[in-house]
Structure 1
Amino acid sequence: MLPFEVEVQGETVAIPSRIYNEGPGANPQQPLTATQQGILHCLYTRHSDGLIRQRHLEQIVASNEPWVVPFVVQLAGEYVLEILEVISRSLPGLSTPGSTQRRPYGEFIARNPAFFARTERRVVS
C-alpha cells in the first residue's frame, strides 16, 4: 500500500501504511541526533506490531515538532485502546481550546481535511 501524504508547514510528509522490518537495536552503531531519533520513532509508529507502535509513540507523543502530529493522529485512527490511553495521558491539553498542545493538531487538521476525514471514518467504523 502506498504511503499517505499530508502537508505539514508547507512540506509534504509521507506516512507509510505499515513497516515490517525488525526494529533498530538498543545501541545503533552510529549515534543519532535528536531529530533523527524522532524520525525513527515516527516511522516505527507504523510498525505491524502494536506493542512496537506503542513503545515508539511514547517516545514522540509529547514532542513539539510539527511533523510528529500526523503520526499521532494516524495512530488515533487505529482505535487501539492502549495507544489512545498513551495519547490522552501524554497530551492532556488537547481538549483545552487555545492550548499549546491543541494548536499544532488543529492547524494540521485544518490543512489536511481529507486525512482527518479518513481518520475519523476509521474511528467510527
Structure 2
Amino acid sequence: MTYQPAFPAALQPAALTLLEAMAASELAPPHQGFQVSVQGELLSAPARLYCSPGDLRALIEQATGDRRTLALCLGTRHWNGYVREECLRRFIATDCSWTAPFVVQLLGEYVIEIVELIAATAPQATLQNLAAFARENPKFMALTRQRATSYWDCYFRRHFRSLQTYPAITTLNAIDAWAQAA
C-alpha cells in the first residue's frame, strides 16, 4: 500500500515538505508503515524511505528545531541501518512526545546495534514520553514486543540466552513499568 503521511497538526506542514524533498532522490516510493496515536493525533510513518543518504543528511543539516528533529525521526525509516542509527543518535535524548513512536518502532527491528543504543541511552525524560506513548498505543506496543521476541528467537538467542536479557525486551519492560507506574 502506498504511504499516506499523517502527522500531528503542528508537524504536518513540515513533514509534507520534508517528504516531498526526500522524494526527489527516491529510488522507490515508500510503503505504508506504522500508524499510531500521539496525544490523540494520528501519526503515520513510512515503512522505509529509499532516498539518497547524502540528500537526507543535507536536509537534516539545513533544518532547525522541530523540523530537524522530524527529519531525524524520518531518517530512522531509511533503508540503510547505519543511517537509521546515525539519525537516532542525534535525537534520542529529545524531549518531544512525537519522537516516541520512532524509537519504539526500532525496538521491534533487527539491527542489534540500534536496539542496544536505545537500551543504553533512553534517559528518564525520554522514558516518560515512551511510557505515555505506550499507554496510548497498547496494540502497537504488543506488536513491537512480538517482533522483538521473534528477532531474538531467530538471530540473537545464542548471544542473549534468555529473552528477558535481550535489550529490546528489557527496554520494553522498562517502558511498561513506567507506563503502569504513572
TM > 0.5: yes
User: Residue 115 of structure 2 corresponds to which residue in structure 1?
Assistant: 84
User: Residue 75 of structure 2 corresponds to which residue in structure 1?
Assistant: 44
Deviation digits for residues 43-69 of structure 1 (CA, Å, limit 9, x no counterpart)? 010111100100001011111011100
Structure 2 letter corresponding to 1:53: R
- The RMSD of aligned alpha carbons is 1.8
| Residue 92 of structure 1: how far off its partner (Å) | 4.7
**Kindly, what percent of the aligned residue pairs are identical?**
36
Q: Please say if residues 93 and 123 of structure 2, whose CA atoms lie closer than 8 Å, have aligned partners that are also in contact.
A: no
Change (3 A) 1:110 1:27: closer
User: Residue 96 of structure 1 corresponds to which residue in structure 2?
Assistant: none
Q: TM-score, normalised by structure 1?
A: 0.85
Structure 1 letter corresponding to 2:136: R
CA–CA separation in structure 2 for the residues paired with 1:41 and 1:9: 20
CA–CA separation in structure 2 for the residues paired with 1:46 and 1:19: 6
User: Residue 55 of structure 1 corresponds to which residue in structure 2?
Assistant: 86
Q: Deviating runs (4+, > 2 A) in structure 1?
A: 23-28
CA–CA separation in structure 2 for the residues paired with 1:27 and 1:19: 15
CA–CA separation in structure 2 for the residues paired with 1:71 and 1:26: 18
Change (3 A) 1:91 1:27: same
Q: Given the alignment, which residue of 40, 52, 71 partners 1:10? A: 40
Change (3 A) 1:25 1:69: closer
CA–CA separation in structure 2 for the residues paired with 1:122 and 1:46: 16
Larger relative contact order (Cα-Cα within 8 Å, sequence gap ≥ 6): 1
User: Residue 102 of structure 1 corresponds to which residue in structure 2?
Assistant: 127
Structure 1 letter corresponding to 2:103: V
Answer yes or no: is 1:119 the counterpart of 2:144: yes
- The structure whose Rg is larger is 2
Deviation digits for residues 50-99 of structure 1 (CA, Å, limit 9, x no counterpart)? 00100001011111011100000000110421101211222154xxxxxx
Change (3 A) 1:110 1:51: same
Q: TM-score, normalised by structure 2?
A: 0.60
Change (3 A) 1:85 1:33: same
Unaligned runs of 5+ in 2: 1-30, 151-182
**How many matched pairs?**
118
Q: Please say if residues 56 and 75 of structure 2, whose CA atoms lie closer than 8 Å, have aligned partners that are also in contact.
A: no
More helix by share: 2
Structure 2 letter corresponding to 1:62: A
Q: Secondary structure at the match of 1:48?
A: coil
Q: Secondary structure at the match of 1:21?
A: coil
